[in-house]
Amino acid sequence: MNRDTRSRRHFLRNASALAAATVAPGAAWAQNATAALRILCTGPAGSIPDTVARRYAEQLGARYPGGVLVDNRPGAAGQIAVGALKQAAPDGATVLLAQGAIATVYPYLYAKLGYDPAADLKPVSVAAVATLALAVGAAVPASVRSLGDFIDWSRANPTLSNFGSPGPGTLPHVLSAMLFRQTKVEAQHVAYAGGPPAMVDLMGGRIASLVLPEGLLRPHHAAGKLRVLATSGSARSAFMPDVPTFVEQGHPNLAIREWFAFFMPGSTTATVVESASQAVRAAAENKALGSALAEMGMLASSGTPAAISERIATEQRYWREAINSTGIRVE
């Protein structure tokens, strides 16, 4: 083989490598994956996580000739869905859409957790951010119009005082528990498998109160089927500006927003994770996705794997102290 031939082959190998490194954002994710993508989801159909997963699935579908499947695995505060992710191959064909609490809150809340966030979850990107809200329904008298009114009513009616949640250990459960503990009110926790069935019972008068992302509560608040008494942002929500915050009503440490993110199996390579993150970030910029999430009272969001990892570390420090100080635990 002469020198010119060797040089030409060397040039072609380098050119091929450069082309592979400069493919469009997210293309490597699709190439490394199978013809279809599965998005595991921690919520049931109709829930906030399900909505986020399906809106992103619509944007990511063009990358997968076999389509994008949303695989709902609700229950056990996300642990069922995380268990399914742990069993998945780390090839880019399976991602998890979950509440950020699976990595930030649950390690300190659960006495036993069926996964190790550091070992079993590779953060990909934030997907959406939502403000939580507390609502009361038919079980609470119409004269209760503020958070203070509700606390007074709950204290005066201990046999009727209870609160629902989309599941034990979920962030809505934790926020409600923190509120009642701070106000020294005894209230029974009623757990559901997701937000939609809990909301049905709230409007039906079978539970007194419920915390959920505001997007699920807003249309029923507007229709007069329930009353939203407080929202969890540091300032009033643009989606429900008539409702005061917990902070305004004397609870500064309840400025808590829920966020949802994509994760991959813990052994997924950094290359596949970064490629997936680029695809999610591109989808988050789509105006149709932003509008669809806004209809549910959420903001589309995204970030790099490094950014979400830093966010998780910061929030872990907060929740470690908050949960230890309140004594809230889930067996």
Q: In 3D, which of 211, 154, 217, 213 has the Cα closest to residue 188? A: 154
Q: For residue 250, what are the domain limits?
A: 131-254
Q: Output the pLDDT for position 35.
A: 67
Taking Cα atoms as reference points, which of 174, 29, 136, 167 lies closest to residue 93? Answer: 29
For tokens 């986020």, the residue is 52
- 295, part of any domain: yes
Is 0.85 surpassed by the pTM of this model?
Answer: no
Q: Tell me the C-alpha distance between 238 and 176, whole Å.
A: 22
* Per-residue confidence (pLDDT) for residue 65, from 0 to 100: 83
Q: 15 lies in a domain?
A: no
Assess contact for 49 and 196: CB atoms under 8 A: no
CA separation for the pair 329, 331 (Å, rounded):
7
Q: Are residues 172 and 224 in the same domain?
A: yes
Q: What is the model's pLDDT at position 36? A: 86
Q: Which CATH number characterizes residue 234's domain?
A: 3.40.190.10
Residues 242 and 143 in one domain: yes
Does residue 16 lie within any of the structural domains? no
**Within a domain: residue 95?**
yes
**What CA–CA distance (Å, rounded) separates 271 from 21?**
11
Last residue of a domain, which of 235, 254, 273? 254
Contact 44, 167 (CB under 8 A): no
What's the pLDDT score for residue 62? 84
The answer to whether the beta carbons of residues 112 and 188 sit under 8 Å apart is: no
pLDDT of residue 276: 94
Residues 140 and 167 in one domain: yes
Q: Along the 331 residues of the chain, how does pLDDT read in single tens digits?
A: 544 444 444 434 444 443 333 344 444 455 544 468 999 999 989 888 999 999 999 999 888 888 999 999 998 889 999 999 999 999 999 999 999 999 999 999 998 899 999 999 999 999 999 999 999 999 999 999 999 999 999 999 999 999 999 888 889 999 999 999 999 999 999 999 888 899 999 999 999 999 999 999 999 999 999 999 999 999 999 999 999 999 999 999 999 999 999 999 999 999 999 999 999 999 999 999 999 999 989 999 999 999 999 999 999 999 999 888 778 888 7
3 in any annotated domain: no
Looking at the structure, tell me whether residues 232 and 304 fall in a common domain: no
Contact 273, 122 (CB under 8 A): yes
3-state secondary structure labels for all residues of the chain = CCHHHHHHHHHHHHHHHHHHHCCCCCHHHHHHCCCCEEEEECCCCCCHHHHHHHHHHHHHHHHCCCCEEEEECCCHHHHHHHHHHHHCCCCCCEEEEEECHHHHCHHHHECCCCCCHHHHEEEEEEEEEEEEEEEECCCCCCCCCCHHHHHHHHHHCCCCCEEEECCCCCHHHHHHHHHHHHCCCCCEEEECCCHHHHHHHHHCCCCCEEEEEHHHHHHHHHCCCCEEEEECCCCCCCCCCCCCECCCCCCHHHCCEEEEEEEEECCCCHHHHHHHHHHHHHHHCCHHHHHHHHHCCEEECCCCHHHHHHHHHHHHHHHHHHHHHHCCCEC
Q: Last residue of a domain, which of 230, 254, 278?
A: 254
63 and 138 share one domain: no
Please state the domain count of the chain.
2
Last residue of a domain, one of 254, 271, 289: 254
Q: What's the CATH code of the domain at 284? A: 3.40.190.150
